[in-house]
Chain A
Amino acid sequence: MSTRAVIDITELPHHQFDTYDPVWWGNNLLLAIETSMFAILIATYFYLRQNFALWPPPVAELTATLKPLPLLTYGTLNTLLLVLSCGPMILTDRAARQGSRGVCQIGLVICVLCGLGAIVLRSFEFSAVYFRWDSNAYGSVVWFMLGMHLLHLLVLTTESLLLTIWIFAREFDMKHRVDIVTVAVYWYWVTAIWILLYAIIYYVPRLG
């Protein structure tokens, strides 16, 4: 009678944070896709800039300003808000790992509010760009950059909202704790991409 060695996995957990969980990989691969999208979008911005003697292009009307730079107010406020929102997100991230439900609930609510705030500020940012999307190629590409990032703000805020509802209304289970840690990665990524876009959209025209 022969015997076989057995790896008994009955004791293994179902979920675990970070690289253990396939969900972490799924999320990060999505971010890889979107990072290459933004990289190509930024390349497009600089490619189109070559076609302009002045960037942004001058305005045709005599009464208008000669160099219509994008207004800094809302963009800067938005950058500050997103960077600050990483604070509660870091706390939520830690709380999810340690299993403190209360901190996660408060943290996620603050983050969702920050996300909503960023979306509202973004709607003002569009009008802070002097041109419309259909004015010229400069307007088109800047609107597109703002819009693609807005799309991520919407998805991120919705996702955080759904998780908030889940941990208020249902269980603070391991599966959704892993989800919270995963959303935190997304949150940091959205902030980091925005810092890059903010620098390009608002300061490249100011460089001359």
Chain B
Amino acid sequence: MSHEKAQKTQNEVPTGNASKSSITDEELAEAMRSEREELEETWARPSGVWGWFTDTDHKAIAKRYIVTAFVFFLLGGIEAALMRIQLAFPESHFLNPDRYNQIFTTHGTTMMFLFAVPIMTAFGIYFVPLMVGARDVAFPRMNVYGYFVYLIGGLLLYAGFFLNTGPDAGWFAYVPLSGPAYSPGKRVDIWAQMITFTEISALVGAVIVIGTAFKMRAPGMSINRIPLFVWAQIVTAFMIIFAMPAVMLASSFLASDRLIDTHFFNPAEGGDAILYQHLFWFFGHPEVYIIFIPALGFISPIIITFARRKIFGYVPLVLSLISTGFIGFGLWVHHMFATPIPQMGESFFTAASMMIAIPSGVQIFCWIATLWGSKLNIKTPLLFVLGFFAIFVLGGLTGVMLASVPLNLQIHDTFFVVAHLHYVLIGGSVFPLFGAFYYWFPKWTGRMLSERAGHLNFWLMFIGFTLVFFPMHQLGLNGMPRRVYTYLPETGWGTLNLIASIGAFVLAAGVLVFIVNAVWALRAGVVAGDNPWGADSLEWSIPSPPPNYNFHNIPVVQGRYPIWQATADAPIVRGLNTKKRETLVTSVMDAQPELRFDIPGPSIWPLMVALATAVTFIAGIFTPWAFLVGAILAGITLTCWFFADPNYENKSARETGEKSEKVAPRVELQPKEV
């Protein structure tokens, strides 16, 4: 297709059923001046304590998620440091075995369920609406519910931990160890119910992200123009939807085996311990990708911005994300090679485990191709991405090693596995996450983080990480099992362990530099402006921090890089009500305007339903009757939610003198050029 024709189709305005007109710049400026006050009032956030409990603003909820998850990250980090102190020297008595078990279980549980998944969800909740040009997420009240359920789940785990009732059967709580016979008391029950809370919250987040990304994109953002960040969030959300039910069943079966004597995992009555492993890892392996794929979504925009050019291979990148999502469901048995699985079955999972390296490789080569020959602008976010390449590729290599059954059996449950999983999770997820912190901090706060401190932060974390985890490969090959609270001096593992422990403190210093940097920047950082990095995506087209209503006029997107490709006379959307909360709903494939959707405002009922959920599952640790009481409470609170602020839309429709609603016919469209 000729350039001229491409240009023409690019500037076509997708109107769907809406009408088209034009406005001069002066008229527009005048209209916006008079609307601004009304918009501010309509989208005003409630203040005070009541406001904290009722606010539905997606940016406020997401920031809350991020701060909460970061606090859990610090708690998990402190637990890691305690373990490293214990293991620094042989026959150490800093921690006793029971305390050590609780600490490594709480560390793993915190990092996986209370830090990694929620913080990735939080980035989606903050940026998906901003990147697709919406005024809020699709279901803002459900979003509030999701946050409170998550918070309560996290508090439950730590309440148990500080009362010496922290779970102690490992973060995947295998039966029979976690079953009623070998884990009396309530420690494992707390773990099982905490899982329920965090899974509910993750599922809620997934539905919100898909709803927003599918139905609330600005006109012109057809499916082939969706930003790569949003694609990563969509793929993750679908993985959550298909993976999380497995762990909910696993933890519910476990809890009911312990509470009401069911026999799902009791071999004496026909139950099966391996069934637990299947259920857990059918969730647990996709979980790794649920943590990792959003991080891939951070890397693409950072590379686009700092390489200052369009991404190489948009379509292969999207297809890689999607195929990673699919193949991710075919790997779970490689966690179970040490169980009696038929060899034929094992070989399929070996093949799938090696196959997943292909889409990962495609992505890395696309990014390298984008960076190659570009005039790099080496700022801290890009530095973390480059660190990701180094660490993640090493973690991927040990992953290919672990996919091989004979080697896997040899090093199963050793420190080699610990090294591998930290290489892929910290390298694949935490490094891009810190890059994302530096990249988007100006959007959240309006201020820049210090670059000098950023470089220091990166190098401390990179060197510290390598010191902690690289020696663990050798420790594992030397035979040091994971989850032992101490070891004998004769084993000769002392030196490498000491190096790892020193590294842990270097890594911690890096995180500390970040915290100091953030606190300093909030007070004295350079004021960022709308688009400090010269980036391409829509969140940078609005002020930092964004106003409550995000976009005064919903933009019309003219390409994959909306800001870079916007023409001076770029069309805009007009006609959203300023007296009530509305956003534009568009079609899934072509993003043609369809509805002026009502966005619900602040409400206390999401919190009340979250509390009903909390009563159900926390009391459910002690008595099955909690589920009856909880069902009644949930019914009452949901009924109130349903009937609360009656007629808000009809009333405001009357006030604003709106016409009756017409039915929109579907419009057929020609496919568009990118």
Q: Do A and B bind each other?
A: yes
Query: Which residue numbers of A lie inside 8 Å of B, CB to CB?
Result: 1-16, 19-22, 25-26, 29-30, 32-34, 36-37, 40-41, 44, 47-48, 51-52, 57, 133-141, 143-144, 154, 158, 162, 166, 170-171, 173-175
Q: Tell me the bound Cα distance from A70 to B453 in angstroms.
A: 69
Verify B18–A11 contact, CB threshold 8 A: yes
For the complex, is B176 an interface residue (Cβ under 8 Å from A)?
Answer: no
Q: Tell me the bound Cα distance from A158 to B638 in angstroms.
A: 10
B-chain residues with CB within 8 Å of residue A20 when the two chains form the complex: 585, 594-595, 664
Instruction: Contacts A22-B138, A26-B207, A134-B260 given; indicate if A4 touches B593 (C-beta within 8 A).
Output: no
Q: Tell me the bound Cα distance from A44 to B597 in angstroms.
A: 41
Verify A22–B25 contact, CB threshold 8 A: no
Chain B contacts with A in 547-568, Cβ cutoff 8 A: 556, 568
Closest to A137 in B: B270
For the complex, is B572 an interface residue (Cβ under 8 Å from A)?
Answer: yes
For the complex, is B37 an interface residue (Cβ under 8 Å from A)?
Answer: no
For the complex, is B139 an interface residue (Cβ under 8 Å from A)?
Answer: yes
For the complex, is B491 an interface residue (Cβ under 8 Å from A)?
Answer: no
Q: Tell me the bound Cα distance from A26 to B208 in angstroms.
A: 8
Instruction: Contacts A9-B18, A15-B661, A48-B272 given; indicate if A25 touches B263 (C-beta within 8 A).
Output: no
For the complex, is B47 an interface residue (Cβ under 8 Å from A)?
Answer: no
Question: In the complex, what's the smallest C-beta–C-beta distance from A55 to chain B, in angstroms?
Answer: 9
Q: Tell me the bound Cα distance from A10 to B647 in angstroms.
A: 21
For the complex, is B26 an interface residue (Cβ under 8 Å from A)?
Answer: yes
A-chain residues with CB within 8 Å of residue B568 when the two chains form the complex: 2
Verify A36–B241 contact, CB threshold 8 A: yes
Some 26 contacts from A to B, beta carbons below 8 A apart, are A1-B25, A2-B568, A7-B20, A7-B573, A11-B575, A11-B662, A14-B596, A14-B653, A14-B661, A15-B595, A15-B661, A20-B585, A22-B138, A22-B139, A29-B211, A33-B245, A37-B248, A40-B245, A40-B246, A40-B249, A44-B264, A44-B275, A134-B261, A134-B263, A137-B269, A137-B270
Closest to A173 in B: B650
Query: Which residue numbers of B lie inside 8 Å of A, CB to CB?
Result: 13, 15, 17-26, 28, 138-139, 142, 203, 206-207, 210-211, 214-216, 219, 241-242, 244-246, 248-249, 253, 256, 260-264, 266-267, 269-272, 275, 278-279, 282, 556, 568-576, 584-585, 588, 593-598, 631, 635, 638-639, 642-643, 646-647, 649-650, 653, 659, 661-664
Closest to B278 in A: A47
Verify A5–B262 contact, CB threshold 8 A: no
Closest to B582 in A: A14
Overall SS of chain B's interface: mixed
The listed residue (B22, B270, B661) touching A57 by CB distance below 8 A is: B270
Instruction: Contacts A12-B17, A12-B18 given; indicate if A3 touches B207 (C-beta within 8 A).
Output: no
B-chain residues with CB within 8 Å of residue A37 when the two chains form the complex: 245, 248-249
Verify A8–B21 contact, CB threshold 8 A: yes
B-chain residues with CB within 8 Å of residue A5 when the two chains form the complex: 13, 20-22, 556, 569, 571-572
Q: Tell me the bound Cα distance from A174 to B253 in angstroms.
A: 42
Verify A25–B211 contact, CB threshold 8 A: yes
The listed residue (B261, B263, B270, B596) touching A12 by CB distance below 8 A is: B596
B-chain residues with CB within 8 Å of residue A11 when the two chains form the complex: 17-19, 575, 659, 662
Question: In the complex, what's the smallest C-beta–C-beta distance from A74 to chain B, in angstroms?
Answer: 22
Question: In the complex, what's the smallest C-beta–C-beta distance from A32 to chain B, in angstroms?
Answer: 5
Verify B211–A140 contact, CB threshold 8 A: no
Verify B595–A16 contact, CB threshold 8 A: yes
Verify B215–A25 contact, CB threshold 8 A: yes
Verify B571–A7 contact, CB threshold 8 A: yes
Question: In the complex, what's the smallest C-beta–C-beta distance from A46 to chain B, in angstroms?
Answer: 11
Verify B572–A6 contact, CB threshold 8 A: yes
Q: Tell me the bound Cα distance from A139 to B253 in angstroms.
A: 13
B-chain residues with CB within 8 Å of residue A12 when the two chains form the complex: 17-18, 575, 593-596, 664
B-chain residues with CB within 8 Å of residue A8 when the two chains form the complex: 18-21, 574-575
Instruction: Contacts A4-B23, A5-B13, A7-B571 given; indicate if A25 touches B219 (C-beta within 8 A).
Output: no
B-chain residues with CB within 8 Å of residue A44 when the two chains form the complex: 249, 253, 264, 275, 279
Verify B270–A19 contact, CB threshold 8 A: no
